[in-house]
Structure 1
């Protein structure tokens, strides 16, 4: 009798393993279906987002550009002065040093970590198996009064102080609409290094058949999108490090 009971429990455990794995894929399938479809997301080449960030009692204009080949640009405008917060041309990454107001290349470690995310546009979940990523469904929770599915995404390791560290992000999908409303991940650089960083997404709106969150927070910084443009024309010079300007300013 004991043997039969043990066998019965083992069969239940075996049966649950593929069901758990399928649940994560079902959540992602529903997410892409509800936001425009996998085929449409795969065709997306680039995005331009125009909005504003709130901070210090000010509204700071923000422009974000992302492309399938990994190119990334974030520009902000403070009191009429346009600054590049981050730029990546697929090979090198740079930013504006707010002390000297000059462009400054990022260190090798930060650049390598940026390169490891080259295939993440428009979503790290899109074709995630081909990227070598893994997803795991961790059950239901409640976040900010909303019932959510918790999904763990494991990406390629990142370098932290010269050592490889796991790259794990927890996504919380609204159980009603199957869209992510929050993410949590450990911060690997900067003054908040080692702490858990939280981002939120809400106010999903349709843009040419695809749905994007128009309201976001990143580590407490609120960003409100005013316009999202799909497949804008992108000039290579937008992302390139301005060597000549740096040289001229230093003379």
Structure 2
């Protein structure tokens, strides 16, 4: 009888976990961070703060504009270095040798088009042709999380079509993602886990954003960024994202 009761409890516990659907988790997340209506109305983000790389603290500005424009500018010894920018069609960076802007490869531009989104990728994800799957729970740095697999549309890497998959870890207690695990798609980082940690969520005009972000590549700290200020739905001139002409 005792063994039967224990078995029944295990079955009930398993059913309780299964009852928590991925859409319920995402609904709680959107409710926690401002609501779907505010996410739908999000058109631009401007973040200013400091980045830590190779032991140095560097002023940084990140601009984003819907649907997928972005620009990351680092100030190093009084010089503005873009790493990278994307105007919706073309990606470009500051060449560290010549200190002049140069286009990235066409394939890199296509990868940025696929992965750069101002509005949350889980917002109306089914309409975008994405797939979200709950894959149980996992503990991330002592925090119990729901593990959600996000599959976007395939991308081309080195001329071959590959899956575009990432894993989001939503804190069970706080209903927000504290880490995203993806995998390098090109170059020396190809296939290596790239983990982005988010913390210090703060309110900005009724929405909540992480003010601290850190990235590890294959377990090694690569980059961290702390925002001093985040602004949303501000006007950003399109020329900010375009590569300067005549360069």
TM-score by length of 2: 0.88
- Contact conserved, 1:140 with 1:148, CA < 8 A, in 2? yes
In the other structure, the counterpart of 1:175 is: 172
Quote the Cα distance in structure 2 between the aligned partners of 1:70 and 1:21: 35
Quote the Cα distance in structure 1 between the aligned partners of 2:133 and 2:189: 27
Quote the Cα distance in structure 2 between the aligned partners of 1:96 and 1:22: 46
5+ residue gaps, structure 2: 1-10
Computed over aligned residues only, the root mean square deviation of the Cα atoms, in angstroms, reads 1.6
Cα shift at 1:243: 2.3
1:147 is aligned to 2:144? yes
Cα shift at 1:20: 4.9
Query: Secondary structure at 2:39's aligned position in 1?
Result: helix
In the other structure, the counterpart of 1:86 is: 84
1:241 is aligned to 2:239? no
Quote the Cα distance in structure 2 between the aligned partners of 1:28 and 1:67: 23
Quote the Cα distance in structure 1 between the aligned partners of 2:234 and 2:201: 20
- Contact conserved, 1:20 with 1:137, CA < 8 A, in 2? no
1:232 is aligned to 2:238? no
Matches within 5 A, 1:42-81: 42-81=40-79
Cα shift at 1:22: 6.3
- Contact conserved, 1:21 with 1:137, CA < 8 A, in 2? no
Cα shift at 1:99: 1.4
Aligned residues: 228
- Contact conserved, 2:67 with 2:119, CA < 8 A, in 1? no
In the alignment, which of 108, 111, 114 is matched to residue 113 of structure 1?
A: 111
Give deviations 1:27-54, integer Å, cap 9, x for gaps.
0000000110001111111000111111
In the other structure, the counterpart of 1:217 is: 214
Quote the Cα distance in structure 2 between the aligned partners of 1:103 and 1:196: 29
- Contact conserved, 2:45 with 2:118, CA < 8 A, in 1? no
Q: Which moved more, 1:174-183 or 1:57-66?
A: 57-66
Q: Which moved more, 1:53-62 or 1:28-37?
A: 53-62
Cα shift at 1:112: 1.4
1:124 is aligned to 2:121? yes
In the other structure, the counterpart of 2:186 is: 189
In the other structure, the counterpart of 1:207 is: 204
5+ residue gaps, structure 1: 1-11, 247-251
In the other structure, the counterpart of 1:157 is: 154
CA gap 1:133/1:22 in 2 versus in 1, 3 angstroms: farther
Give deviations 1:139-159, integer Å, cap 9, x for gaps.
011110000000000001111
Query: Secondary structure at 1:41's aligned position in 2?
Result: helix
